[in-house]
Structure 1
Amino acid sequence: MINIDSGYVHDEHDFHFIDGVFEATKRLKEMGYLLVVVTNQAGIARGLFSEDRFLSLTQWMDWNFIDHGVELDGIYYCPHHPEHGLDKYKQACDCRKPQPGMFISARDFLNIDMANSVMVGDKPSDLIAAQAAGVSTSILVRTGKPITEDGESLADVVLASIKDVPAYLAAR
């Protein structure tokens, strides 16, 4: 929901930000929200790109946010996959969404009040992980994977894009 999902993106030239993401995240920060990215990275597990390559892309992404006046409070990623992983990355873990491990790590490190938190995601596994971690509000956006009935049933609201999130939260 930060970038256009075109598969296992691992190169800056293939990374395209969602329209309005910088404005929306800047407004969310102004509203007092912490901004934490939680992302499954099965491409690492599958051997499509290295963890170092992902970290380089993440640093580039983070600098783009900073250049737009937005500081992310945390970035958490899971490099594992239980079936398609290679070597040390082939494992069932508590960090791969829909498990809540990344949310719990962020909660503990950043002292986040999950009961007053909001998850913005683009697929059911995002919402399931957030719910398991005690996040009170789940927003599903249409700028990622196709919306399913499961996703709609898990979400408090379905919005067109992350750019619609600040107005929705301000109106609640």
Structure 2
Amino acid sequence: MQAQPGSSAASPAGAGRRRRAKAVFFDRDGTLNVDIHYLHRPEDFQWIPGAQEAIKYVNDRGYLAILVTNQSGVARGYYPESDVVRVYDWMNAELQRSGAHLDALYYCPHHPDGSVPRYTKTCVCRKPSPGLVDRACEEFAIDKASSYFVGDTESDMACARNAGIRGVRYEGGSLLALVRAAVK
């Protein structure tokens, strides 16, 4: 299924389950990859140390690994939505080499100062609003009390608080070490 703003690029694996899923939500830029302003090409992507291993760690512990990212470059006309999905697909291809995967992509292409009219707006899916996390929780039947949000900014931590999920702040170093310490 093709990703839509505020929705997933993968079909909800947890949909229809009786048992609630647990998830680790990951921010992208600055958390999983080096923050290159308006990253939209796989050839510019650089993994943060321990990021691939952190995703595998949560996969191996039965957590869904869900990518949640603001992509205002779409609203600003720097790149199309298809580039957001292309980078996500590339990330998953890279992760598969180590037996890891991301379960879904939720992204916000909107920004109130955009230049593309259809994306120029204030919305509930742009972090720190919890819209993307709430939608993922609904679609995957995620138990918020058993879930985490890993991000590098105060906006990410505010999103976690707004969604009622534990926030884990990444401030450098090995992402795997941070995730191991927080997610049991």
Q: Structure 1, unaligned stretches of length 5 or more? A: 144-159
Pairing of 1:129-148 with structure 2 (within 5 A): 129-135=159-165, 137-143=166-172
Q: 1:54 to 1:167 in 2, by over 3 A?
A: closer
Number of the residue aligned with 2:40: 10
What is the SS of the residue equivalent to 1:105? helix
Structure 2 counterpart SS, 1:125:
helix
SS in 1 for 2:64: coil
Q: Is the 8 A contact 1:142 1:161 kept in 2?
A: no
RMSD over equivalenced CA pairs, Å: 1.5
Matched letter for residue 48 of structure 2: I
Note closer, same or farther for the CA distance 1:106–1:138 as it changes in structure 2 (3 Å cut): same
Provide structure 2 residue ranges, at least 5 long, that are not aligned to the other structure: 1-30
The DSSP-based 3-state class of the residue aligned with 1:71 is coil
**In structure 1, C-alpha distance between the alignment counterparts of 2:167 and 2:81, rounded to whole Å:** 29
Q: Paired residue for 2:141?
A: 111
Percent sequence identity over matched residues?
37
2:169 paired with 1:163: no
Report SS of the residue matched to 1:35: strand
SS in 1 for 2:132: helix
Q: Are 2:110 and 2:121, in contact at CA under 8 Å, matched by a contact in 1?
A: yes
Counterpart check, 1:74 vs 2:104:
yes
Deviation at residue 85 of structure 1 after TM alignment: 4.3
- Corresponding residue pairs, total: 154
Amino acid at match of 1:16: Q
The equivalent residue for 2:20 is: none
1:65 corresponds to: 95
CA distance in 2, matches of 1:163, 1:169: 10
Q: Which structure's relative contact order is higher, taking Cα pairs within 8 Å and 6+ residues apart?
A: 2
**With structure 1 as the length reference, what TM-score do the two structures score?**
0.84
CA contact (8 A) 2:77 2:114 kept: no
Output aligned runs, 1:16-27, within 5 Å. Answer: 16-27=46-57
1:82-115 per-residue CA deviation (whole Å, 9 max, x = no partner) reads: 1234210101110000110000111001111011
Structure 1: 4+ residue segments shifted above 2 A: none
